[in-house]
Structure 1
């Protein structure tokens, strides 16, 4: 243990072959517990240590229940320091895709997050965009999205992330993924994922940082979307034992993190060792 925190040995590839030049951090479950009004112990200090070390840090989230500006303000209230443009949620990314491809979405998203779609043409939809709509995931609303897809000659479905669940106020709750899978099955369409674990999403973050995948690390609480998605792009992945982490993640059949850490502060200990 270091300072009362347990840290695990990294795989040989971490210590021998990689020099960390950029860090990607999940937000919910890493910086703060979803639904909680306080940061996870040590997380504010951990972010400050990374920033003080001169490492570029980007905050990667599939959060779609609030606007990016609202999320930035919430993080500032919790004591974190970052700029709007250092936070990468899916909605600004999907808006760029919609504009580039001249697409008009039928939106099934959280009412608050809908503000980030201001200026996007939604008349006569030729695609569906699905976010974490929480209580808006009613039969009526899902059926409307299904009917929109079925009315299209070439249906296009965007899912803002593909998470299975997350933790909110000590309970696990359904994320957007199960609802996206329902629409995929019903409409016989494959969703285009915008957000984690999409390689396109991670690549856009790395490009913004000016860091290559082999010199970057992702820290997250979701072993599939955070760690698995990052590793599939060539990055290192650290799984923290906070947020939605469950003990069975340590024996996941498909994803093997480069390290586990009790929390973000312990993960930063490892990262700073590998950045020298």
Structure 2
């Protein structure tokens, strides 16, 4: 069962003390990789991402796409990959929404969904009884005072508080950074004085489930992402190699914001795949 996330985000304050050197990576037997900001931005592939994934699949290494995207349903993600020429099935993508749906079923919850309208198809219709849980993701324009205040009142009244993700920002289709779900999760945590149960990255349970599905040991698995907190720090904490790419939301100096630092910082997915293939 996923553990409640701390209110405190991963420490991103630069330290004056020397950072611990990342452990050298050994054999790599499987790969997890982010989608938005690594494979594509908006509707366009990034650089040689499509060819890089083709090479990775040809190597025989198992891979899964692990994304904190909570504004698109699984169906839309699969369609987007196929439009880009990337073959993928529903088992190839691990999302917070699919994990939350399983949790709701296991616990018999009746959730109030504060999510993007497009994501509703990934959830079963809630039972016809009062809500006893709030599930919050990137609701986009559906974020409103009314929606957040309703969520606040439910949580204040004892409802379970479940966050699909707590990323700070994402690289939007216009090339600019936009607010992700994290600031809204933090606002409700502050108002209710309660920690959200985090379902997506960097939740240890989320990574453990992805690695188990991949069928590899964590120490032989590499995670490729553009978010130094959710992707890289989370992977390192889970015992994996954490590869940071300088695409998507990456900003200059991000690799110095976590301790220990990334296993490797690379220009893009092309370089990350080459790094992995050298260690297979």
Q: Is the structural similarity TM-score above 0.5?
A: yes
2:166 alignment partner, SS class: coil
Q: What's the counterpart of residue 207 of structure 2?
A: 202
| Separation of aligned partners in 2, 1:208 and 1:113 | 23
CA offsets 1:10-51 (integer angstroms, 9 cap, x no match)? 95621xxx2111100100000001x3x210011001111111
Change (3 A) 1:122 1:28: farther
| Separation of aligned partners in 1, 2:72 and 2:97 | 10
- Does structure 2 conserve the Cα–Cα contact (< 8 Å) formed by 1:25 and 1:59? yes
Q: How does 1:1-276 map to 2 (within 5 A)?
A: 13-14=24-25, 18-33=26-41, 35=42, 37-121=43-127, 123-152=129-158, 155-168=159-172, 169-254=174-259, 256-275=261-280
Change (3 A) 1:267 1:61: same
Provide the TM-score with structure 2 as the length reference. 0.89
Report how many residues are paired. Answer: 259
1:93 alignment partner, SS class: helix
Q: Tell me, which stretches of 5 or more residues in structure 1 are unaligned? A: 1-9
- Does structure 1 conserve the Cα–Cα contact (< 8 Å) formed by 2:229 and 2:258? no
- Does structure 2 conserve the Cα–Cα contact (< 8 Å) formed by 1:105 and 1:122? no
| Separation of aligned partners in 1, 2:77 and 2:204 | 23
- Does structure 1 conserve the Cα–Cα contact (< 8 Å) formed by 2:22 and 2:261? no
1:247 alignment partner, SS class: coil
| Separation of aligned partners in 2, 1:72 and 1:51 | 17
Provide the TM-score with structure 1 as the length reference. 0.91
- Does structure 1 conserve the Cα–Cα contact (< 8 Å) formed by 2:72 and 2:118? yes
1:55 alignment partner, SS class: coil
Q: Tell me, which stretches of 5 or more residues in structure 2 are unaligned? A: 1-20
Q: CA deviation at 1:253?
A: 4.5
1:243 alignment partner, SS class: coil
| Separation of aligned partners in 2, 1:253 and 1:213 | 20
Q: CA deviation at 1:151?
A: 2.1
| Separation of aligned partners in 1, 2:257 and 2:191 | 29
| Separation of aligned partners in 2, 1:144 and 1:204 | 32
| Separation of aligned partners in 1, 2:124 and 2:222 | 33
Q: CA deviation at 1:273?
A: 0.4
